[in-house]
């Protein structure tokens, strides 16, 4: 039985066009949620929509001095996540383009860490997580797309082994 519209029967090509327009609308809506317009408030909302517990720590404190943007430290499911929000994508790219895929250099030089740097660059945001919790990495991947540091190995201080207990303690935003 043919499908009827307000002006008569709809042809197969018209139905195809309607389907194409609907799929295009859905893709644009998804792209707008995570594209160049993604800001800190939208990021927090997307995490919360996916079931994450999110709160802000130390508002206004500057934790990563060699990067620009407005810096916020969030507690996401009991783990510390740093969010840098830039005025535009070009400013964010100026900082994120200098971060290599193995994260062996974050900022102006080598930084001793205990854990694994994961960094995401999406829209106006540069997001950092230093830890080993795959649940947090998966949450951030779901909202921001793949990390720009996929080759980052776990590192211990001064080239030594990673101590998972220390990493868990240091990446936690919950007081013991």
Per-residue pLDDT tens digits of the chain, which is 176 residues long: 455 545 556 465 543 433 433 333 333 333 334 455 789 999 999 999 999 999 998 765 666 777 888 889 999 999 999 999 999 999 999 999 988 898 877 766 666 677 888 999 999 999 999 888 999 999 999 999 999 999 888 888 777 788 888 888 888 888 76
3-state SS assignment for residue 89: helix
DSSP state letter for 153 = P
pLDDT at 164: 86
In the numeric block, the tokens 């590192």 are attached to 155
Model pTM greater than 0.85? no
pLDDT score recorded for residue 49: 95
Report d(CA 164, CA 115) in Å as an integer: 8
pLDDT (0 to 100) of residue 28: 33
The DSSP secondary-structure symbol of 172 reads: B
* Contact status, residue 162 vs residue 115, Cβ threshold 8 Å: yes
């Amino acid at each position: 039985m043919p499908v009827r519209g307000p002006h008569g029967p709809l042809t197969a090509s018209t139905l195809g066009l309607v389907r194409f327009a609907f799929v295009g609308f859905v893709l644009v809506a998804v792209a707008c949620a995570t594209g160049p317009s993604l800001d800190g408030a939208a990021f927090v909302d997307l995490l919360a929509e996916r079931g994450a517990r999110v709160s802000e720590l130390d508002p206004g404190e500057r934790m990563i001095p060699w990067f620009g943007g407005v810096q916020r430290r969030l507690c996401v499911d009991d783990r510390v996540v740093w969010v840098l929000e830039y005025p535009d994508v070009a400013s964010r790219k100026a900082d994120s383009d200098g971060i290599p895929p193995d994260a062996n250099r974050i900022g102006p030089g080598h930084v001793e860490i205990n854990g694994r740097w994961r960094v995401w660059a999406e829209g106006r945001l540069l997001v950092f997580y230093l830890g080993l919790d795959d649940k947090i990495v998966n949450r951030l991947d779901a909202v921001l797309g793949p990390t720009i540091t996929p080759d980052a190995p776990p590192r211990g201080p001064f080239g030594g082994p990673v101590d998972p207990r220390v990493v868990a303690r240091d990446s936690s935003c919950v007081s013991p």
